[in-house]
Structure 1
Amino acid sequence: MDHYQPSTSTEAALHDYKTGLGIFSKKMPELARHYNQFTEECFKEGSLSQKEKQLIALGISIATQDEYCMIYHTKGCVDQGATEEEILEVAGVSAAFGGGAAMSQSVTLLQESIKELNKYKQ
C-alpha cells in the first residue's frame, strides 16, 4: 500500500505518473525499456540544449492538453533553469496554436505548477 503524502498537487501528479510508469514497466518491461531509451535519447543535449528541449515539450503538452506532461515538463523546464518568463512565453505561443483550451491550462495548471515547483528551489 502506498503511504506517500504529497504536499502539493504538482507533487501528487508527478508521484502518480511515476507510480503508474513503474506498474506499466513491470507489466510491459521491453516496451517500457525501449520507450525510455527513445525518450532519453530525444532529450539529450545536442544542437538544442536540454532546457530548449524541455520548453518545446512543454509547448507541445499545452497545445495537446496533456496535463501530466504539462506538469512533468514544467518540472523539466524549472530543473533546467528556465525562468518563469520563458515558460510563460511558451504558454503564449502554445495558446496561438491550441486556442482557449491551451490558454486555460496555462493560466491555471501551468502557473500552479510553476509556483509549487519554485517553492523547492528557495
Structure 2
Amino acid sequence: MDVQKTLENFNQGVGKLAKELPRVMKGFRDLHEAVISDGALSAKQKELVAIGIGVAIRCHYCIAVHVAKALELGATREEIVEAVGVAVLMGGGPAAAYATEALQVLDSLAGKS
C-alpha cells in the first residue's frame, strides 16, 4: 500500500470538492476543526476514536488520514492498535479486514516494512 499516494489522492479529491462545493467543504472543515480540538478528550484521543470509526465503517481514506494525524499528535503504536481492536469488536469481520489496512498504514508511516 502506498500510503503517501493515498493521502495525496485524498487531499487532491478534497481540493476538488472544495472548488465545486466551497460552502459545504468550508462547513465541513470548520466542523472538523471544532470537533477535533482539545476538550474533555484531547485531539489525540479524538483521532484514535476516528481511527476506530474509519476501520469499522471500512473507509480507507479515513484510516490513512486519521492514523497519520494521530501519529502527528503523539499517539503510540499501542494506542493505535488498541483503537483498531475496539473497531474489530464493534465492526466484526469486515472491520477485521480493514484493521489490516490500518496496520499497513501505521507501519508505512512509522517507517516499518
Q: Does 1:17 align with 2:10?
A: yes
* TM-score of the superposed pair, with normalisation by structure 2: 0.94
Runs of 4+ aligned structure 1 residues displaced above 2 Å come to none
Residue in 1 that maps onto 2:106: 114
Can you list the C-alpha shifts for 1:9-51, whole angstroms capped at 9, x where unaligned? 1100100000001011011111111111111111111111111
* TM-score of the superposed pair, with normalisation by structure 1: 0.87
Structure 2 residue aligned with 1:51, among 39, 44, 47? 44
The structural deviation recorded for 1:82 is: 0.9
Partner of 1:104, secondary structure, is helix
What is the 5 A alignment of 1:71-110?
71-107=64-100, 109-110=101-102
Where do 5+ consecutive residues of structure 1 fail to align?
A: 1-7
Q: Return the alpha-carbon distance in structure 2 between the equivalents of residues 90 and 43 of structure 1.
A: 16
Can you list the C-alpha shifts for 1:66-117, whole angstroms capped at 9, x where unaligned? 111011101111111111111111111111111111111112x111111111
Could you say which structure has the larger radius of gyration? 1
Partner of 1:18, secondary structure, is helix
Structure 1 residue aligned with 2:60, among 34, 57, 67? 67
Q: Return the alpha-carbon distance in structure 1 between the equivalents of residues 44 and 20 of structure 2.
A: 32
Where do 5+ consecutive residues of structure 2 fail to align?
A: none
The structural deviation recorded for 1:56 is: 0.5
The alignment yields a C-alpha RMSD, in angstroms, of 1.4
Number of equivalences: 112
Q: Return the alpha-carbon distance in structure 1 between the equivalents of residues 55 and 9 of structure 2.
A: 19
